[in-house]
Amino acid sequence: MFTFKGKSTGILSSLEFRDFQPDELEIVNRLSAVWFVSFVKIHNFKGSRYPYIFLRPSPVLSDRFNLYTEVLCIFHSYDTFDARALDFVDKTLFEFNNRLDKLCVLVISKAGNIFKEIEKLSADKESRIYIPFNFGEITESKGKESALIVRRLEEQLYTKDLFAFDSPLRTDKYFFGRKADVQTLVGKYSNGENGCIFGLRRIGKTSVLLAVERELRGRNCPVVYIDCSDTKFHRNRWNTALFHIKNALFSQNGLTNSDGYKEHEYTEGNASSNFVNDLTKLSAHNQKKPILLIFDEIESLTFDLSASEHWSEGLDYVYFWQTIRSVFQQNSGLFSFIISGVNPHALEVPKVHEKNDNPIYRFITPNYLGFFNVEQVAQMVTYIGKYMGLAFAKEVETYLTDDFGGHPFLIRQICSQIHKSIVADNIRRPVVISKEYYRSHINKFSQNISEYIELILQILIDKYPSEYELLLYLAKDDQKTFLEFAKQSKEWIIHLEGYGLITEENDIYHFRMNVVRDFIRLKAKAKLLPDSLEERWAQLSKKRNSFEKELRLNVRKLLKISLTANKAKAAIIEAMSKPNQKNRAQSFAYDEIFDHEIYLVDLKRAVEGNWKIFENIFKSDKQKFSSYMDNINKHRSDAHAKDINEDDFVIALVSLNWLNDCLISNT
C-alpha cells in the first residue's frame, strides 16, 4: 500500500490549464494525487496538438524508483499512435534539457495500439523509457491511481536490462565518461589538425567517434563517419574508395551525388584532383567550413592487415594515403581526418612492403582510449542502475573498477549479470548491491561474460600474436621471459599499456584486469612454458618449421625480384656450404632449388650475403638477425637429442618470435 499525501503532491497553484479537454483535466487531477504538477503547456507540432505537463516525483516515488528530477508527461488525444509523438518528446526534452529526466517519459494516449507501439520502441536498447497509459484506465481508476502508476512504473523500469548494450552508442542517452575524449578530437578539428584513437575492441572507440559526429552536426559542420570494414570501401580499389567517401560526404551534408564527379571519372590518374574539387564544392556549400573525415576500423584499409589483397599486399594503401596526405597539405583548411583502430600499425611502420615509404608514418601521434576511473564507473552504474531499481554500494563500485580495469563495456555486462541474478533470486526492488552479494557471485558473473573477454583479445591472437604471447608469460608470473620478449620491441609494451591490459610499477608489470589475467591463465595454460622435455622440443620444432618455410619463400621471391633469376641462382648456390649440394643445385632451375636440398644455414648465409635486399625486413639489425638465426639452428631436437634447460628454451623462443615477427610484419 502506497500513501501519497502532503505538499509533495498536488498542482502548482499558479498553473492555468486553458484549452485542456475535460478528460485531460481529469487525468491531470488524478496524476496530482501521486505527483506534483509543476508546469503545463500545449504545443502544436507537425500538425498535431500535444498538451504536456511536468511531474515532480513525490518522496515515495523517489525512494522506490530513484526518480529525483521532473518527468515529462505528454497527452496524445488520437486513435493511432505514430512516431511524430516521439519526435515531439525529443524536441521538448532538448528544450528543457537541464530540467527534465533524460530517459523516463509518461505517454498517455487514446490510441488502442499504444502498448504495442511502446513495446516495439523498447526493442531499441537506446530508446527512452516510455511509461504508457491509456486515457480510460486512468480516468476509471477511481482512487486506485497510485497502485496503477506504481505497477506500470515497475513493469517498465524494473524489467528492462539497460546495461546490456553490445553495440556502439549512437545517442547521448547512455554515453558516459568520454566527454574529454570527444572534446579533444573536436578541438583538433577546430585547429585544422588530424587526430586518432586506438584501443582494443569494445573499449568505446566507435561510440566516441559517433559522439564527435553528433557534436559537429549540431554545429552544422560537414562531417562523415566511414566504417572502413564496409566492403564498399575495402573491396574497392583506392581511387573508387575515394569516390565512395565523397559520395557519403555529399549525401550526408546537403549535396546530391550528381553534384560531383561520377565514379568512372575517379580514375587512378584523376582521383586526386577530382577529390579535391569535390571537397572544395562541399566546403563552399557549407559556408567554407572545414570537412572532417572519420575513418573507423582503419585496419581494413591498411597494409598487412586488410582482408582485401589489394590493400594488404598491393599498393592501394600507399596511393590512398598519399592522396589524403597530399590533399590535406596542399589545401589548408579544406579538411582534416580522424583514424581509429586497434593498433597504430599504420603510423609506426616506416616502409610498406619493404621499399615504399609509408605516407602517414609518424604523421599523427598515437593516442589510446583510456579506461574509466572509479568516479566514472560510479557515475555510469548509478545513473543506469537507478532506473532499474539497482543501487551499488561504494565498495562494489571500487571492485568493479579494480576487477575489470575500468573497462566500461565489461562493467556494463557484469551489471547486466547482476540484474539477471536479482530477477532469478526474486529479490524485491529497489535493492542495494552489497559487497557481500558481489563477492559471492562475481566468479559466476565473470564466467558468464568470458565470451566477451575472448572477443576483446581475439584481435591480438589473430593480428598481433607476439603481443598476445607476452600476455601468456605475464599470466604465469614469468617476469623474466616477459622482459626478454619486451626487449625485442618497446612498441609491444607501449601497445599493451595503451590497450589498458598491463601496467608497470617499480619495473614489475601487472595485469590491470584480474578477469583478463584469469581468462588467459585458463585458456592458454598449454601454451605457457612447457615442463617436459618433449613439450619444449615440440613447441620449438613447430615454430622453427613454420619460420623456415616462410623464410624460404621470402628468400626465393626477393632474390629473384632483386637480382633476376640467373643472378639469384648464383647467389643461393654461393650461400650453400656443402660442395655436393652446390653441384646438384646447378642442374636445377632457380625455383626448383628451393624444393630440394636447402638448409636453414643456407638461407641465413643468403640473407647475410645480400643484406641490402633483406635489411628492411629484419629491422636493419644484421647482428641480431645472425645471432638469432644461430640460436634457433643450435637448439634443434634433430641435432641435439639432449635436455634443453629453461634458459636455453627461452633464448630459442625469443629468437624465433623476433624472426617470425619480422616476416609477419613484412609479408
Given a cut of 80, whether residue 122 has pLDDT beyond it is: no
Give Dmax over CA atoms of the chain in angstroms. Answer: 109
Residues 272, 242 share a domain:
yes
Distance CA 29, CA 141 (A): 12
Q: What is the DSSP string of 485-530?
A: HHTT-HHHHHHHHHHTSEEEETTEEEES-HHHHHHHHHHSGGGS--
Question: Cell for 171?
Answer: 545517442
Instruction: Count how many domains the chain has.
Output: 5
Residue 1 is assigned to a structural domain of this protein: no
Q: Where are the beta strands (DSSP E) in 77-151?
A: 100-109, 129-134
- pLDDT digit string, tens, across residues 181-203: 999 999 999 999 999 999 988 99
Residue 454 is assigned to a structural domain of this protein: no
| Ramachandran area for residue 255 (φ above 0: left; ψ -120 to 50: alpha; else beta) | beta
Long-range contacts of range 90-98, CB-CB < 8 Å, 24 or more positions apart? 91/45, 92/43, 92/52, 96/54, 96/72
Residues 606, 484 share a domain:
no
Question: Cell for 346?
Answer: 599504420
Residues 585, 562 share a domain:
yes
pLDDT for res 3: 46
Distance CA 108, CA 24 (A): 9
Supply the CATH number for residue 268's domain.
Answer: 3.40.50.300
3-state secondary structure of 149: helix
pLDDT for res 639: 45
Stretch among 357-361, 518-522, 525-529, 618-622 having the lowest mean pLDDT: 525-529
| Ramachandran area for residue 231 (φ above 0: left; ψ -120 to 50: alpha; else beta) | alpha
pLDDT for res 641: 47
Distance CA 573, CA 77 (A): 91
Three-state helix/strand/coil letters over 621-643: CHHHHHHHHHHHHHCCCCCCCCC
pLDDT for res 640: 44
Residue 568 is assigned to a structural domain of this protein: yes
Question: Cell for 145?
Answer: 491511481
Residues 632, 510 share a domain:
no
Given a cut of 80, whether residue 637 has pLDDT beyond it is: no
DSSP run (H or E) holding 338: strand 335-341
User: Is-contact 566 600, C-beta < 8 A?
Assistant: no
pLDDT for res 665: 63
Residues 551, 412 share a domain:
no
**Domain carrying residue 215:** 179-357
Given a cut of 80, whether residue 447 has pLDDT beyond it is: yes
Residue 289 is assigned to a structural domain of this protein: yes
Q: Which of 499, 526, 553 is the last residue of a domain?
A: 526
Residues 558, 516 share a domain:
no
DSSP run (H or E) holding 605: helix 600-609
Residues 152, 15 share a domain:
yes
Distance CA 586, CA 534 (A): 39
Split at pLDDT 50, 70, 90, the class of 485 is: confident
Residue 344 is assigned to a structural domain of this protein: yes
Task: Kindly state the average pLDDT of the residues 535-559.
Answer: 85
Residues 477, 439 share a domain:
no
Question: Cell for 251?
Answer: 549525401
Q: Where is pLDDT greater, at 414 or 615?
A: 414
Residues 350, 401 share a domain:
no
Residues 184, 60 share a domain:
no
pLDDT for res 4: 47
Question: Cell for 616?
Answer: 628492411
Split at pLDDT 50, 70, 90, the class of 78 is: very high
Measured from the Cβ of residue 29, the count of other Cβ atoms closer than 10 Å reads: 15
Task: Kindly state the average pLDDT of the residues 124-148.
Answer: 88
Residues 245, 189 share a domain:
yes
Give, to the nearest 10 degrees, the angle between helix 316-330 and helix 271-285. 40
For cell 563495456, the residue is 409
Residue 582 is assigned to a structural domain of this protein: yes
Residues 103, 184 share a domain:
no
- pLDDT digit string, tens, across residues 282-341: 999 999 999 999 999 999 999 988 989 999 999 999 999 999 999 999 999 999 999 999
Task: Kindly state the average pLDDT of the residues 418-428.
Answer: 94
Q: Which of 194, 468, 186, 212 is nearest to 342 (CA)?
A: 468
Residue 646 is assigned to a structural domain of this protein: yes
Q: Which of 448, 474, 497 is the last residue of a domain?
A: 448
Residue 173 is assigned to a structural domain of this protein: no
Q: Which of 417, 448, 479 is the last residue of a domain?
A: 448
Contacts of residue 35, Cβ cutoff 8 Å, sequence gap at least 6: 9, 55, 56, 57, 58, 61, 71
b (16+ CB within 10 A) / e for 187-216:
ebbeeeebbbbbbbbbbbbbbbbbbbbbbb
Distance CA 524, CA 609 (A): 40
In angstroms, the Cα distances linking 68 to 54, 176, 190, 417 are 13, 19, 37, 26
Split at pLDDT 50, 70, 90, the class of 528 is: low
Supply the CATH number for residue 130's domain.
Answer: 3.40.1340
